[in-house]
C-alpha cells in the first residue's frame, strides 16, 4: 500500500513537469504515469541485481549506518595473480601447500548506484520511445527491485548539467531517482560535443565518490566510449561490481529505407545526406554501425565490465535484466 501511495506521488510529479504551452511530445515525461505501476510489477519479478563473489570488502571500507554485521565466509579457492592478499586463507595454504583465497558473500546491504545517461545521443528513437526513455525505464525497474530488498540506492544523471542524487535507503531513494530519470528530455538546442575529457572526468568522479565494493550500473548508449576510456573503466571494475547496460535503437542495427535523408550527429553537430534507397548505402551503414557496436562491446570486455544490450523498443525488461 505504501509503495502504491509513493507511485501515485511520482505520477503527480511527472505530470507537473509537462509544459502545457509547448508541444506535449517534446515536454512529456519519458515514462507515462500509467506505466509506473507496470514497471513496479516487473521489478517485483526481478529477484535482485546479480550477486558475485566479493574479495575486496573489509570492515571499515565503508562507513554507513546501513551496513549489516559484515561478511559471511563461503569457501576457499586457489589464489590467482591479482587477487587481494588480505583475503588469503593461510590455514588452507599451509595444509595443502598451495596458495588459497577466502571467498565471502555479502551479508550487509550493498550500495547500488545507477548512472542514467540523458545526453544528446540518448535523445533519439525510431521505435516506440527514445533511448533516454528506455534508460529511464531500466533505471525504474532496477530501483524498484533494489528498494524491494531494502537496498541502499544512489544515482547520477548525466545531462547538460549533471546531477547526483544523495544515497538514500529504500523506496524514497527509488522514487527520487524515478522522478528525475522520467523528467521531460527535449532535444538539446546546442549540444556540446562529446569529448574524451568530459566523460573521463565523469568516470573519475564515480571512482572517487563510491565506496569499494558498490554495485555500479551504467545505463547509456556508450556512443562516447573510446579506447582512451578503457583504463578508466578497468579501474572501476577492480573496485566495483560494474554492469554496463547499453541501450540500442533499431536504426542503429539496420538503417531503414526512406530515400534521401539528412542525418544530424547530436554528439558532434555534423550533418550528412545519405540516399537510403540504395542498397549499397544501407549495407555500408549497417556494417559501420555493427562494427561500432562490436568495438564498444570489446572495449567493455577488455576492461572486465559486465555488458549487455537492451533494445529501446523492448517492453518486458525482466528476462533481460534477470540474466545480466
196 part of a folded domain: yes
65 part of a folded domain: no
58 part of a folded domain: no
Q: Which residues contact 97 (CB under 8 A, 6 or more apart)?
A: none
Question: Does residue 88 sit in the same domain as residue 171?
Answer: no
Question: Does residue 237 sit in the same domain as residue 113?
Answer: yes
Question: Does residue 175 sit in the same domain as residue 83?
Answer: no
Question: Does residue 198 sit in the same domain as residue 144?
Answer: yes
Question: Does residue 102 sit in the same domain as residue 113?
Answer: no
Question: Does residue 172 sit in the same domain as residue 96?
Answer: no
Residues of the chain with pLDDT under 70: 1-26, 47-74, 104-110, 189-196, 264-269, 323-324
CA distance 186 to 304: 34
Say what the pLDDT of residue 233 is: 96
Say what the pLDDT of residue 25 is: 65
64 part of a folded domain: no
Question: Does residue 44 sit in the same domain as residue 124?
Answer: yes
279 part of a folded domain: yes
Say what the pLDDT of residue 55 is: 44
Point out the domain boundary residue: 80, 106, 132: 106
Q: HSE (CB half, 13 Å, CA atoms) of 144?
A: 27
Could you give the residue ranges of the DSSP H alpha helices within the chain? 2-17, 24-27, 33-45, 90-96, 131-148, 171-181, 196-209, 230-239, 279-302, 318-321
Question: Does residue 33 sit in the same domain as residue 160?
Answer: yes
φ/ψ region of 226 (left if φ > 0, alpha if ψ in -120 to 50, else beta) reads: beta
Question: Does residue 128 sit in the same domain as residue 27?
Answer: yes
pLDDT, tens digit, 9 for 90 and up, residues 64-106? 333 333 455 667 888 888 777 888 889 999 999 999 888 766 5
Question: Contact 90/99 with Cβ under 8 angstroms?
Answer: no
10 Å Cβ neighbour count for 25? 8
59 part of a folded domain: no
CA distance 43 to 37: 10
Pairing of strands 241-248, 306-311: parallel
Identify the bridge partners of residue 155 per DSSP, sorted by sequence position. 114, 165
57 part of a folded domain: no
CA distance 141 to 320: 11
- Expressed as residue numbers, the domain containing 314 is 2-50+109-321
What CATH number is associated with residue 157? 3.40.50.410
How many structural domains does the chain have? Answer: 2
Question: Does residue 259 sit in the same domain as residue 115?
Answer: yes
Report the candidate in 180, 247, 242 with the shortest Cα–Cα distance to residue 217. 242
Question: Does residue 168 sit in the same domain as residue 78?
Answer: no
Q: Which residues contact 247 (CB under 8 A, 6 or more apart)?
A: 122, 131, 134, 135, 138, 219, 220, 221, 310, 311, 312
176 part of a folded domain: yes
Burial class of 280 by CB neighbour count within 10 A (0 to 12, 13 to 18, 19+): exposed
Q: Which residues contact 304 (CB under 8 A, 6 or more apart)?
A: 234, 237, 238, 242
Identify the bridge partners of residue 165 per DSSP, sorted by sequence position. 155
Can you spell out the DSSP letters for 55-76?
SS--TTSS--TT--S-EEEEEE
Say what the pLDDT of residue 28 is: 83
Question: Does residue 188 sit in the same domain as residue 78?
Answer: no
Question: Contact 138/310 with Cβ under 8 angstroms?
Answer: yes
Point out the domain boundary residue: 84, 106, 128: 106
**Share of the chain residues as helix, strand and coil, in percent rounded to the nearest 5:** 40, 20, 35
Amino acid at each position: 500500500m505504501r509503495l502504491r501511495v509513493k507511485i501515485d506521488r511520482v505520477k503527480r510529479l511527472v505530470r507537473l513537469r509537462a509544459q502545457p504551452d509547448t508541444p506535449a511530445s517534446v515536454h512529456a515525461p519519458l515514462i507515462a504515469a500509467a506505466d509506473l505501476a507496470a514497471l513496479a510489477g516487473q521489478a517485483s519479478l526481478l529477484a535482485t541485481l546479480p550477486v558475485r563473489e566479493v574479495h575486496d570488502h573489509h570492515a571499515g571500507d565503508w562507513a554507513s549506518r546501513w551496513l549489516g554485521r559484515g561478511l559471511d565466509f563461503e569457501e576457499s579457492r586457489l589464489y590467482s595473480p591479482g587477487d587481494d592478499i588480505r583475503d588469503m586463507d593461510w590455514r588452507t595454504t599451509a595444509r595443502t601447500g598451495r596458495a588459497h583465497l577466502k571467498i565471502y558473500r555479502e551479508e550487509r546491504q550493498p550500495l547500488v548506484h545507477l548512472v542514467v545517461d540523458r545526453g544528446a545521443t540518448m535523445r533519439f528513437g525510431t521505435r516506440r520511445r527514445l533511448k533516454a526513455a528506455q534508460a529511464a525505464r531500466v533505471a525504474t525497474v532496477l530501483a524498484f527491485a533494489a528498494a524491494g530488498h531494502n537496498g541502499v540506492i544512489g544515482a547520477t544523471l548525466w545531462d547538460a548539467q549533471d546531477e547526483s542524487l544523495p544515497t538514500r535507503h529504500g523506496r524514497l531513494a527509488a522514487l527520487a531517482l524515478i522522478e528525475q530519470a522520467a523528467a521531460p528530455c527535449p532535444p538539446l538546442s546546442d549540444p556540446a560535443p562529446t569529448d574524451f575529457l568530459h566523460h573521463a572526468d565523469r568516470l573519475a568522479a564515480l571512482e572517487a565518490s563510491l565506496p569499494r565494493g558498490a554495485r555500479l550500473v551504467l545505463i547509456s548508449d556508450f556512443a562516447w566510449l573510446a579506447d582512451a576510456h578503457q583504463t578508466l573503466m578497468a579501474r572501476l571494475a577492480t573496485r566495483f561490481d560494474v554492469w554496463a547496460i547499453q541501450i540500442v535503437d533499431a536504426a542503429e542495427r539496420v538503417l531503414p529505407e526512406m530515400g534521401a535523408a539528412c542525418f544530424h550527429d547530436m554528439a558532434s553537430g555534423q550533418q550528412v545526406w545519405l540516399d537510403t534507397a540504395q542498397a549499397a548505402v544501407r549495407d555500408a551503414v549497417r556494417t559501420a554501425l555493427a562494427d561500432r557496436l562490436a568495438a564498444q562491446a570489446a572495449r567493455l570486455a577488455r576492461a572486465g565490465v559486465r555488458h549487455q544490450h537492451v533494445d529501446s523498443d523492448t517492453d518486458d525488461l525482466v528476462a533481460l535484466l534477470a540474466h545480466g
